[in-house]
Amino acid sequence: MSEHNSVGNAPGTARPAGASVAPSPWSAPRRVHIHDVAMRDGLQIEPIFVPTEQKIALINALGHTGLSKIEATSFTSPKAIPALRDAEELMMGIERVPGVKYVCLVPNLRGAERAMQCNIDEINLVMSASETHNLANLKMTRDQSFLALSKIIDEAAGQVDVNISISTAFGCPMEGVVAPEEVLRLGDRFAERGAQGITLCDTTGMANPTQVEALCSGLARRWPGLELTLHFHNTRGMGLANVIAGLSAGIDRYDSSLAGLGGCPYAPGATGNICTEDLVHMLDSMNMNTGTDLGLLVSCARQMAKMVGREVPGQVMKAGPWDKRFPPPPDLEQTRERALAR
């Protein structure tokens, strides 16, 4: 493990003896699962094609950081997303680290068939809670999307797990507010249809913590046995605050993107996902168990920045962890003497 794997007690946690502390939903030891989506969600909008061998090397490195899932690519049309045109070669070339689920997004039945030929662990299917966004993104009504994705669930049954990502679950950039009832109704249909997991996605960073806690509280009881994940963007700087709200509501799985890359090519104003290493740093400093190695993640983030050849949003890779220390000024003792002589 690297030197930054454990960040210890965060600043401000010490309290006077005898002080009472109100119970906190995250004060007890808690396992939080991190799913990195940078190799798909991050690279899909980059204007360059990253060579396949570089992608494979980075996925292999990520596999040893302790992540629970890695969304490696998308089996979509090369014409639609040329940056991911090497899906088969990539999936057949990566190392499969035990304990890590390798996930691929698929847009249709043909994509699912291609993905399953590459021995993936999980298929990620996407549709929108917003009718307008679904039509703009997928060229189908929501009912048409549900039927199409149901066929994929049937095809995958007994072979690979299926996760359903519900886009615009916290708001649509074209419609505005999306009624929680619409999101829950859609999730109910997929839970009944046999999906193994549901992800609620804040596709363009419209969510706020109050809204997140209100929508997510009680989901574990509503959809028992399903893996529940939240997917936030940091478009308006509220991504990590929304994670805190999700934790308060009982959700323990989060999508994030190495170096903060990402965005939706079909959603106006969608900037990067919450940053994986920044998320892990926050959770580790809160004494939660992410199972990940922060130092290795930061190394991977720097590798990603070199691959895309531009400035990336991640903060911890620039500033270091909260417990990074700097040497005092060389004249500190002289300054002390002058201060005491006053």
CA 29-236-304 angle, to 5 degrees, is 70
Instruction: Give me the helix-helix angle, 276-285 and 239-248, nearest 10°.
Output: 50
**Secondary structure of residue 242 in the 3-state scheme:** helix
Q: What are phi and psi of 199, to 5 degrees?
A: -115, 130
Tokens matching residue 127: 């549709």
> What span, in angstroms and rounded, lies between the C-alpha atoms of 77 and 65?
30
Q: What are phi and psi of 277, to 5 degrees?
A: -70, -30
Q: What is the distance, to the nearest Å, from the Cα of residue 82 to the centroid of all Cα atoms in its chain?
A: 22
> What span, in angstroms and rounded, lies between the C-alpha atoms of 32 and 1?
19
Indicate which residue of 104, 172, 264, 300 is catalytic.
264
- Active site includes 104? no
CB atoms within 10 A of CB 29: 8
Tokens matching residue 122: 């999980």
CB atoms within 10 A of CB 208: 16
Burial tier of 35 (Cβ tally within 10 Å: 0-12, 13-18, 19+): buried
> What span, in angstroms and rounded, lies between the C-alpha atoms of 147 and 10?
48
> What span, in angstroms and rounded, lies between the C-alpha atoms of 243 and 231?
9
Tokens matching residue 308: 């895309």
Contact (CB, 8 A) for 281 and 321: yes
List active site positions.
Answer: 264
